[in-house]
Structure 1
């Protein structure tokens, strides 16, 4: 057989990118089964960071050479550092305890300065320390621009490009988007853009116990902080009215989803992706024939020791089911699900007055 004879049909040549951000922002779309597709990113927040930085430069709100600062638990830090590298801006990161030595080295080589917060056993304490530190920096250096990924609606803008990619790649028709809520920019920005294009979209958000965003702050998860899924402080970028369904999941269930995704589909993805995968499998089983899209925000590398090295402890996803609830007072670990149906934010999830200038206005859903 001649060399290359079994290579299959020829495909279009891959594009040559001008910068790494163009290469990593596009996800790999992987069909997990007939009704579930995974959008697997190296770092999904490149869309948020690139969209925000481009908009800021275009509007004259920042200038080349200026310093951009923000707090991050990991993947936004890398995305912002890459965007700053591309557009000649300086980057300063106030890093969560979840930012490991490998990521910190990448940030520093990219030219970012990193202030690491002390170790913390509490998501609330970790986030509060980071925000306080950012405010101190602003007081000392009024020339820096605070990106406010938690509050500035500019972070929704980049996901319109992702929505256009999905419109071209996926068949027409109803779609359910399943993803970790986190700052609200990815799930909210994507759902808004897809709905505005005319596609019927259900939005399913995933939260950890202990997050104030959808009212589970009275619980604690003793095993781990699930970075990038929830928050102990109110986020202005979360538009509660956009969400149709919410799943609350503990660490062990998210771990089961992540290990199961690798075992069943050879996909090495992060803990938030594992949680979304588990939620999407349950959603798809209840609504066969409807396409479900799982947002896989990052790879599994930073969870190698905390999750994947413990794979023998992982629960079998096939035996896991959520508790279906009708109101927040019935919320219970380890996994609960509720039809949110566009409810407004719980009182504790509304941004404080000091963040009001950065909060996102209420969004009216399309019919």
Structure 2
């Protein structure tokens, strides 16, 4: 068993600080989710909740699961990950299994990640193994607290920050980093990047082509009243931005990071005197055969249609196509204030414990 706090994989959770424009500073991570995964496991060990031989069980759409897999393998914990058929590819599954992961793949006929079914499966496994540890990435406040280190790195690199831009899935990275930064810079504007047919900011759930952000349930770690503006970015603009980042900056990040970069570049153009910090969470290796493959892209319906150079400002929340990019002034309000206290999209995930 590796000692508590062992420094394995530290380089993977340390971002490259890149300048994408005179006023855009990006924290480009090899594997950002190592930051909260390590912090959560270390705290659980220190509290005596996670002991030698304890099985870890979690639901994941990708990178948090890989972070847990690396740490569990190094520290000697058995690990079960629950994912959906639409989220896992054969190559990624093999990487997890090489690290000793027991992988449970839930059917996903709707193609939206089926988070509710995955959470049900996590609870079933925990009933079968009552001593197991559930990191609860969506609800565990330690997820957000872990990003104090990222906030410090950004301040050291950028100094004063006017805008923070990042994608939202569990809510941990954007809300955690934003909370720490706003304590230093009260006027900081926080821009949340989501994708169409994600329920996080009031859209109805549906099939999503752009993965790694968005959700089909509402995580407790998402603090809506921190957010000034929401951008919903379809898969096609994100895919194009991923290729542009590689060609023009030598930055090989996944389409989730590219979506955030697209929004950050627009913010920087709109506010040329502002200093914009950008969180880029994932590398591009999972997407070599898809997002970075011209033959695969050419088969997408409507791929040849041009991408708008800027987002469409919405007066009401509504989904759009994978080729579109929209934005909405959230103005630091709660979800209930924006979409109504009785919205069907507000139902939290079941099985919280």
Return the TM-score normalized by structure 1: 0.84
1:36-86 alpha-carbon deviations (Å, 9 max, x no partner):
122111111111101111111122222232111101111010111122234
Question: Could you tell me which residue of structure 1 aligns to residue 128 of structure 2?
Answer: 140
**Structure 1 residue 199: deviation in Å?**
6.1
Q: 2:89 aligns with which of 92, 100, 111?
A: 100
**Structure 1 residue 231: deviation in Å?**
0.8
Q: Secondary structure at the match of 2:293?
A: helix
Q: 2:156 aligns with which of 168, 185, 198?
A: 168
**Structure 1 residue 26: deviation in Å?**
0.3
| Further displaced range: 55-64 or 235-244 | 55-64
Distance, in Å, in 1 between the alignment partners of 2:141 and 2:346 is 15
Residue segments in structure 1 that go unaligned for 5+ positions in a row = 1-16, 359-367
Question: Could you tell me which residue of structure 1 aligns to residue 102 of structure 2?
Answer: 113
Q: Secondary structure at the match of 1:177?
A: strand
Does 2:63 match 1:80? no
Pairing of 1:244-259 with structure 2 (within 5 A):
244-259=228-243
Cα distance change of structure 1 residues 122 and 257 upon mapping to structure 2, 3 Å threshold: same
Q: Secondary structure at the match of 1:142?
A: coil
Residues paired across the two proteins, number: 334
CA contact (8 A) 1:44 1:297 kept: yes
Question: Could you tell me which residue of structure 1 aligns to residue 196 of structure 2?
Answer: 209
Q: 1:336 aligns with which of 326, 330, 334?
A: 326
**Structure 1 residue 276: deviation in Å?**
0.8
| Further displaced range: 299-308 or 102-111 | 102-111
Pairing of 1:63-78 with structure 2 (within 5 A):
63-78=51-66
CA contact (8 A) 1:235 1:351 kept: no
**Structure 1 residue 128: deviation in Å?**
2.7
1:280-303 alpha-carbon deviations (Å, 9 max, x no partner):
111111100211122111111112
Distance, in Å, in 2 between the alignment partners of 1:87 and 1:287 is 46
Q: Secondary structure at the match of 2:201?
A: coil
**Structure 1 residue 90: deviation in Å?**
2.3
Pairing of 1:22-101 with structure 2 (within 5 A):
22-97=10-85, 98-101=87-90
CA contact (8 A) 2:161 2:277 kept: no
Cα distance change of structure 1 residues 90 and 201 upon mapping to structure 2, 3 Å threshold: farther
CA contact (8 A) 1:174 1:200 kept: no
**Structure 1 residue 175: deviation in Å?**
2.8
CA contact (8 A) 1:236 1:350 kept: no
Distance, in Å, in 1 between the alignment partners of 2:157 and 2:266 is 24
Does 2:311 match 1:322? yes
Does 2:183 match 1:196? yes
Question: Could you tell me which residue of structure 2 aligns to residue 156 of structure 1?
Answer: 144
Distance, in Å, in 2 between the alignment partners of 1:350 and 1:203 is 21
CA contact (8 A) 1:268 1:299 kept: yes
**Structure 1 residue 197: deviation in Å?**
3.5
Query: CA RMSD, aligned part only?
Result: 2.4
1:301-354 alpha-carbon deviations (Å, 9 max, x no partner):
11222211036757666x52211123326x644211111111112444545485
Residue segments in structure 2 that go unaligned for 5+ positions in a row = 337-342
